[in-house]
Amino acid sequence: MPSPETLLFSFALVGDTHVKPESGDQSAPWKVNEKATRRARFIAREIARYEPKFVIHLGDLVHPVPELPTFDAAVALMQDVFRQHHNRMHVLPGNHDIGDKPNRAMPAKGVRESWIDIHEKNFGPGWRAFDQDGIRFILLNTPILNSGLPREAEQRAWLEGALAEAKGRRIFVFLHYPLFLLGPNEPSTYDNIDEPARSDLLSLFRANQVEAVFAGHVHNIFYHRLDDTEFYVMPATSFVRQDYSEMFRIEAAAENGRDDAEKLGFAMIDVHSDGHVVHYLRSYGAEIAEAEQQAPIAVRSTAPLPHPKKSGGAPIGVFLRHPWAETVTLPQNGPMDEFVRKQARNDYPIAALWRLGVNHARVPLDDLMDPVSRARMADLVAIGHRFTVSGFGVPAGAARAALIEHAGLVDRFECVLPFEAILPSAPALSAFRSDFARPVTLARVATSADEAKVGSKIELFVSHGFRPDQLPEIEELVAGGLTGIDGVVVRAGLGADFVTLAAMLDTWSKANGLSVDLNLRVAANNPATNVTDDGAILAAAAEAYACALAFPALTVMFDPFMDLDRGYFVRHGLVDRRCNLRPAGLAVEALAAFLPCDGVSSPALTASTPAGGRVLMLDSTGMVAAILLPSPGTSLEIPAEFAVRLPEALHIVPLDAPWTLSPILGSLPTGRLPARVDGPTLLVGSHAK
């Protein structure tokens, strides 16, 4: 598993900047394209904060194509925007730079030798290789593939030699067009490399054990594993391809999905001696003018960027109630792919988990039974994800066989049973646990049928897990002969005192020798009640996070991960239906960076409720943190006793804003703590010496 000690270097990856002159250019009919240059300026400045070893641009540097009179001006502007990275920037050509791949069903002109000449005069060879720390980096010109141009054969011969020369070394490959979006056997579309070049490249990459392949062009995030090679399709800095907004069951974002600004950004890739980690960094569409680009840049926080491949990250898990490995079929609606049904898997739920540092997810048994989602589970387990698989009843038949066969994909199985069926099911449960050889947790069915009725009012709900006051029932079950379980599931609602509850469950768990999964259920019992108070959900998520740090023996799960915005039990989660972060998600993202789970220490946790809100204190060797949660419309005073314990605030982090873009990160002199905060805030500092 990559760790800070194994880090060799980091590099930046940027693509599809689509720079264009801000006046006089009519190459795009959308207003959002007028923001592209200012967005690229922001990205160029932001990259500098991370001090990468080098920068790679995946193509589509400019928007006007070479035949337009504004092309030269756009190229000059592009060079100006990224001039601070000039000596360490490697550029490969995109279709806007040298022409489209050959396809008469596409609306733009194909690649031309004369346009390639212009690109190479401005940016250097269209294909190239270089080495860094013994690792081979290969950049290819993909628009020429299948073109029959002389350069295609030249590149193919060169590539074979460059791969052979790198034998025994790790290899990273960079493309403009992705090889595929859904799978290597998909039909030709505007967004992939056509046959026969696709199979040829895949064969070469497999034979030479290429570690990772990076591509742009599609302006959306996709991730694949094929054999031991990881394939990444990167976001754009400029705009989102609006045809892919079909992946989200919600109305399109601004400009028909083209200006879904939270999906824009760049990537920092950490290269370790034992692997690599890709961090997507959102720009939220931020723009700056030329003068701002030259201003001094703020020092970037030293907080680590979380990822399931690395230790640390968020100590909580999430319920994946929505499809999370779904293949979406896009409508035939041109101007590209007017004559085919293009398909793609929506990988934004996975990308959202990565940015939150969440590697533990609860999914239904159906996901393990389905071969498509099961294969996706295998992809994710290979890079550090964990899955709790839940099912109703003791597994039997095909379900039992699937769980045992694919036990390596399952962190634990959660068996949900009606209370009256638990003891009668004990022999079958014990036999399954023996064959499964993985932990099994028990959850009691919880329904409105078990609740006392008041008058004519009826609430219809179905949930799972024991209430905290039902723990004696579990003790009675064990005394009555229940075996075959390793732990139990306890549920709590939005208004619970999580700190008190977690401490009690931790004590109970140790006394009874059973693990506890504590589920925070963001939902009312009435299916018609909408739970959409983002402030309250943020506060609950932050408290659950703190409890997961302080009581690592507990497994804390947040339910739901994604909004449920229609049907029953409407409520907000950590992300909305576009997989953009809700306030609670922003809080988890910041907490995962500044208070990661190190798997070793468990800070002492105390909670207080002074006038104006709630304060959570986490105290461990050398570190103290305060999570300040003001009540709505109020400011929260930092109590004097906390100021004494936290004399130097190393970081002051807003929990309801993107922490990576925050201008207030950094050290403060002793005694400069703010007296009050107006919004949810994390203070992280060191003990008084």
Q: How many domains does the chain have?
A: 3
My answer on whether 581 and 671 are in the same domain is no
Hey, which bits of 418-466 come out as E strands? 440-447, 462-464
User: Minimal CA–CA distance to 466: which of 516, 541, 432, 429?
Assistant: 516
Q: What is the pLDDT of residue 135?
A: 97
- By the 8 A CB rule, do 56 and 11 touch? yes
For residue 311, being part of any structural domain is answered with no
For residue 334, being part of any structural domain is answered with yes
My answer on whether 513 and 635 are in the same domain is no
- By the 8 A CB rule, do 95 and 176 touch? yes
Place of tokens 């997989």: 579
Question: Alpha helices, DSSP H only, in 569-632?
Answer: 583-594
Q: What is the pLDDT of residue 460?
A: 66
My answer on whether 672 and 553 are in the same domain is no
Q: What is the pLDDT of residue 569?
A: 92
Last residue of a domain, one of 277, 297, 317: 297
State mean pLDDT over 139-143. 98
For 234-276, the pLDDT digits (tens) are 999 999 999 999 999 999 999 999 999 999 999 999 999 999 9
Q: Is residue 552 pLDDT above 60, yes or no?
A: yes
My answer on whether 624 and 520 are in the same domain is no
Q: How confident is the model at residue 453 (pLDDT cuts 50, 70, 90)?
A: low
My answer on whether 515 and 383 are in the same domain is yes
Q: What is the pLDDT of residue 2?
A: 75
Amino acid in the structure at residue 239? F
My answer on whether 589 and 650 are in the same domain is no
My answer on whether 565 and 663 are in the same domain is no
Q: What is the pLDDT of residue 647?
A: 62
Q: What is the pLDDT of residue 673?
A: 72
CA distance linking residue 486 with residue 514, whole number of Å:
6
Structure tokens at 672: 């400069």
CA distance linking residue 342 with residue 180, whole number of Å:
11
Longest pairwise C-alpha distance within the chain: 84
For 366-393, the pLDDT digits (tens) are 999 999 999 999 999 999 999 999 999 9
Percent of the chain with pLDDT over 90: 79
CATH assignment of the domain containing 409: 3.20.20.80
Q: Is residue 155 pLDDT above 80, yes or no?
A: yes
For 627-685, the pLDDT digits (tens) are 999 999 899 988 777 777 766 667 888 999 998 887 554 455 545 677 888 999 999 88
Q: What is the pLDDT of residue 524?
A: 86
C-alpha dihedral over 676, 682, 688, 689, to 10 degrees? -150
Question: Would you say how long the chain is, in residues?
Answer: 689
CA distance linking residue 232 with residue 237, whole number of Å:
16
Q: What is the pLDDT of residue 689?
A: 47
User: Minimal CA–CA distance to 327: which of 240, 406, 222?
Assistant: 222
- By the 8 A CB rule, do 152 and 144 touch? yes
Last residue of a domain, one of 594, 618, 634: 594
For 274-290, the pLDDT digits (tens) are 999 999 999 999 999 99
Q: Long-range contacts for 105-112 (Cβ within 8 Å, ≥24 apart)?
A: 105/337, 105/338, 105/339, 106/190, 106/336, 107/334, 107/335, 107/336, 108/65, 109/65, 109/67, 110/147, 111/143, 111/144, 111/147, 111/149, 112/66
For residue 319, being part of any structural domain is answered with no
Neighbours of 473 (CB within 10 A): 15
My answer on whether 17 and 142 are in the same domain is yes
State mean pLDDT over 516-532. 92
Q: What is the pLDDT of residue 670?
A: 47
Q: Is residue 447 pLDDT above 80, yes or no?
A: no
Domain that residue 224 falls in? 4-297
My answer on whether 523 and 547 are in the same domain is yes
State mean pLDDT over 330-351. 92
For 301-321, the pLDDT digits (tens) are 777 899 999 988 999 999 999
Q: What is the pLDDT of residue 455?
A: 63
Q: What is the DSSP letter of 623?
A: E
Interior angle at CA 244, CA 239 and CA 248, nearest 5? 110
For 557-567, the pLDDT digits (tens) are 999 999 999 99
For residue 302, being part of any structural domain is answered with no
My answer on whether 520 and 623 are in the same domain is no
For residue 414, being part of any structural domain is answered with yes
- Sign of torsion over alpha carbons 650, 283, 50, 214: positive
CATH assignment of the domain containing 101: 3.60.21.10
Q: What is the pLDDT of residue 665?
A: 46
For residue 536, being part of any structural domain is answered with yes
On average, the pLDDT of the chain sits at 92
pTM of the model: 0.94
Q: Is residue 439 pLDDT above 60, yes or no?
A: yes
Residue 313 — left, alpha, or beta (φ > 0 → left; ψ -120 to 50 → alpha)? Answer: left
Q: Is residue 106 pLDDT above 80, yes or no?
A: no
Place of tokens 């009675």: 476
For residue 343, being part of any structural domain is answered with yes
My answer on whether 170 and 140 are in the same domain is yes
Place of tokens 């009640």: 529
Q: What is the pLDDT of residue 461?
A: 66
Last residue of a domain, one of 563, 594, 625: 594
Q: What is the pLDDT of residue 89?
A: 96
My answer on whether 118 and 167 are in the same domain is yes
For residue 318, being part of any structural domain is answered with no
For residue 196, whether the previous peptide bond is cis, meaning omega lies within 30 degrees of 0, is: yes
Structure tokens at 258: 């083209």
- By the 8 A CB rule, do 584 and 560 touch? no
